Amino acid sequence: MTGQTMNSSIAKWVAVEWGAPISRAWIFGHANQLIDYKILGDGKASLSSRDLEPTVLEAISSHLGDRPISVVCSGMIGGQHDQLKASCTTPCEPIGFDGAYDATTSDPRITIRVLPGVIQTSPADIMHGEELKIAGFIFENPKFDGIICLPGRHTKWVHISAGEIVSFRTFLTGELFALLSEQSKSHQSAKEESWDDIAFEDAMSDTMSSPQNLTFKLFGLRADSMLNGLTTIEARSKLFGMLIGLELSGAKPFWLGQQIAIVGEPGLSRLYESALASLHVPAQVENGERMMLSGFKIAHDKISGDD
Amino acid sequence: MTGQTMNSSIAKWVAVEWGAPISRAWIFGHANQLIDYKILGDGKASLSSRDLEPTVLEAISSHLGDRPISVVCSGMIGGQHDQLKASCTTPCEPIGFDGAYDATTSDPRITIRVLPGVIQTSPADIMHGEELKIAGFIFENPKFDGIICLPGRHTKWVHISAGEIVSFRTFLTGELFALLSEQSKSHQSAKEESWDDIAFEDAMSDTMSSPQNLTFKLFGLRADSMLNGLTTIEARSKLFGMLIGLELSGAKPFWLGQQIAIVGEPGLSRLYESALASLHVPAQVENGERMMLSGFKIAHDKISGDD
């Protein structure tokens, strides 16, 4: 690398997604171009707030300069009490800048500003990170009025109107899928990405029409594997179909007759898109990471006074 | 201990429950009295079939005599293919003696006879161990015609008629409760046995009336802990209420208008009894271990020709 390239790689600002479940940093240069991307703390899921400054410094060490670099951070940082106090309560704009606070730093080459999450009092619900994707989406779709579905470990359905989060609902779908997949005793070799669309759709529509049968259908997957040669691919597809079917059933007040956008990881978003399509519900699909970085850019501009 | 007591402690036969999730042995003397009880292999959950003979020999070492001791065993032993081949298929008597087989032993002081499980082809389901409790219950209640509920990690609802298992259905309730309890981030100190009956019943009836809301209500427990001070005891009671509510909803074709018996561990059975009572469904409650040992006794008598 030449000296010139080194100069051009000094960061202007850094976006940090903290603990969801791993922590990541996107490093931007002075023309707001992405110059580097890092996974923090070797991808450990259990970083504590005290790890924030050292892991960020390590990740951006080759991009440090003379002036303090602004780090904008989303996620669960600091004590739970402080986080909740800082959070905005629905109905509210996705990013509550009034609640943003500085994380303690000892190195003068960085400042860390933590963005607050969003809470809903009744029914109790909580959001930490998705609000940036929502902010990015609303920035690019300013007239959007409808529902944003953010699929993931804790999938969120968010009612947006006039640029604000009106209400939202979180489903444990992804976490349950992970728990039940790990628990399954089946060790047949199967590529993670393999999928059986028909098994998925059958299980989904079956669960939507009789959600009360979930826990015995879950045991049935194991019994079908043992007795009827159900493959691991079919079992995984059916398991996800059941859980997404239950979710779509519970989220019906959100998607029925509404304009829908799915903002998430492309593979998972496609599954939600096809599930909604089977219910004759069209959806706009947007890349979650792109929307999140757009949200971070809005936050950085606001914090640094560039807007 | 005197020499006389030592003599009287020689075993006649041994009942072994293998891997559910731990393995246990009940050791009986020549008057069929229980003389000892042991947890096998230090309570490890992952014993393999090869561990069967050495762990049983170790457990009964002080009860070995001149004549071979008959060990009667239930559970998953040997290859899956062999187990399934040996199983009886519904409708059938609980213990299918025709399918019983000898486990290979190298020590002449014991013989091990493995009892087969029960399978159901459609909907696919499988039973390994509960059949002994059913056999014991039918022996003590020969005219019973109705439903036996066997609560546990994998709760089973079993339709009994004319002494036979007509059909059954397994629910993942206990396993899901364990997975979700471990996963919960709440670390408030709470005695495991503490319970909130009102939280339990509210969550149960709520889930029965809207089972499709399960996965967002599950996330709601965490949000309620953070935002509204829900205690660990309330959260555990609600979690179990939700899962049992979903189960009772899915098991309705089994319990509605039927004679019901609950056969299980007393604490868990009481929860099922109170859940059914809130639906105005009375139930006979029997101790699961006592019924299992009664079933083992029937099996031992039949195997040894004592009947």
Q: What is the DSSP string of A230-273?
A: --HHHHHHHHHHHHHHHHHHHTHHHHTTS-EEEEE-HHHHHHHH
**Amino acid letter at B306?**
D
- Answer for the pair A284, A276: CB distance below 8 angstroms, yes or no: no
Residues A124 and A216 both lie in one domain: no
Say whether B84 and A125 touch across the interface (CB within 8 A): no
Residues B178 and B275 both lie in one domain: yes
Which chain B residues in 57-96 lie under 8 Å from chain A, judged by CB atoms?
A: 80, 84
Residues A18 and A85 both lie in one domain: yes
Share of chain B above pLDDT 90, in %: 78
- Nearest-Cα distance to chain A for B79, in Å, is 12
pLDDT at B4 over 60: no
Say whether B220 and A121 touch across the interface (CB within 8 A): no
Residues B212 and B269 both lie in one domain: yes
- Judging contacts by C-beta atoms under 8 Å, the chain A residues touching residue B176 are 215, 218
Is residue A144 in some structural domain? no
In this complex, which of B119, B124, B212 lies closest to A220 when CB atoms are compared?
B124
Least confident of A6-20, A121-135, A204-218, A232-246: A6-20
Is residue A284 in some structural domain? yes
Residues B43 and B111 both lie in one domain: yes
Domain range for A262 is 171-288
- Nearest-Cα distance to chain A for B69, in Å, is 33
The per-residue pLDDT for B306 is 65
User: What's the start-to-end Cα distance of chain A, in Å?
Assistant: 34
Residue B5 pLDDT grade (very low, low, confident, very high; cuts 50, 70, 90): very low
Is residue A37 in some structural domain? yes
- Answer for the pair A59, A25: CB distance below 8 angstroms, yes or no: yes
- Answer for the pair B162, B125: CB distance below 8 angstroms, yes or no: no
In this complex, which of B171, B175, B227 lies closest to A121 when CB atoms are compared?
B227
Residues A82 and A199 both lie in one domain: no
Q: What is the CATH number of the domain that holds B225?
A: 3.30.420.310
A110: DSSP letter? E
| End-of-domain residue from the set A128, A162, A196 | A128
| B172-184 pLDDT, tens digit each | 999 999 999 887 6
Q: Which two tokens stand for residue A158?
A: 């968010």
| End-of-domain residue from the set B69, B102, B128 | B128
Residues B105 and B183 both lie in one domain: no
Task: Give mean pLDDT, residues B188-192.
Answer: 46
A218: DSSP letter? H
- Interstrand relation of A260-264 and A284-287 (parallel, antiparallel or unpaired): parallel
Which chain B residues in 243-272 lie under 8 Å from chain A, judged by CB atoms?
A: 243, 246-247, 249-252
In this complex, which of B84, B216, B252 lies closest to A169 when CB atoms are compared?
B216
Residues A260 and A183 both lie in one domain: yes
pLDDT at A23 over 60: yes
Residue A190 pLDDT grade (very low, low, confident, very high; cuts 50, 70, 90): very low
Is residue A184 in some structural domain? yes
Share of chain A above pLDDT 70, in %: 93
Task: Give mean pLDDT, residues B82-111.
Answer: 91
| End-of-domain residue from the set A128, A158, A180 | A128
Is residue B303 in some structural domain? no
DSSP H helices in chain A: 3-8, 52-59, 80-86, 130-140, 173-183, 197-209, 214-228, 232-250, 252-255, 266-277, 288-304
> Average pLDDT of chain A?
91
Residue B83 pLDDT grade (very low, low, confident, very high; cuts 50, 70, 90): confident
pTM of the model: 0.90
When scoring A214, A240, A247 by the number of chain B Cβ atoms within 10 A, the one with the most, hence best to mutate, is A214
Is residue B299 in some structural domain? no
Question: How many structural domains does chain B have?
Answer: 2
Residues B10 and B117 both lie in one domain: yes
| A273-302 pLDDT, tens digit each | 999 999 999 999 999 999 999 999 999 999
- Token pair 């230090």 is found at B42
The per-residue pLDDT for A4 is 40
> Average pLDDT of chain B?
91
pLDDT at A5 over 90: no
Minimum CA–CA partner of B172 in chain A: A215
Say whether B247 and A215 touch across the interface (CB within 8 A): yes
Winning range, highest mean pLDDT, from A205-214, B46-55, B68-77: A205-214
Q: What is the CATH number of the domain that holds A38?
A: 3.30.420.300
ipTM of the complex: 0.90
Q: Which two tokens stand for residue A260?
A: 């829908």
In this complex, which of B170, B175, B215 lies closest to A171 when CB atoms are compared?
B215
pLDDT at A133 over 80: yes
pLDDT at A307 over 90: no
Residues A175 and A123 both lie in one domain: no
| A100-126 pLDDT, tens digit each | 999 889 999 999 999 999 999 999 999
In this complex, which of B125, B179, B224 lies closest to A223 when CB atoms are compared?
B125
Say whether A219 and B179 touch across the interface (CB within 8 A): no
Is residue A272 in some structural domain? yes
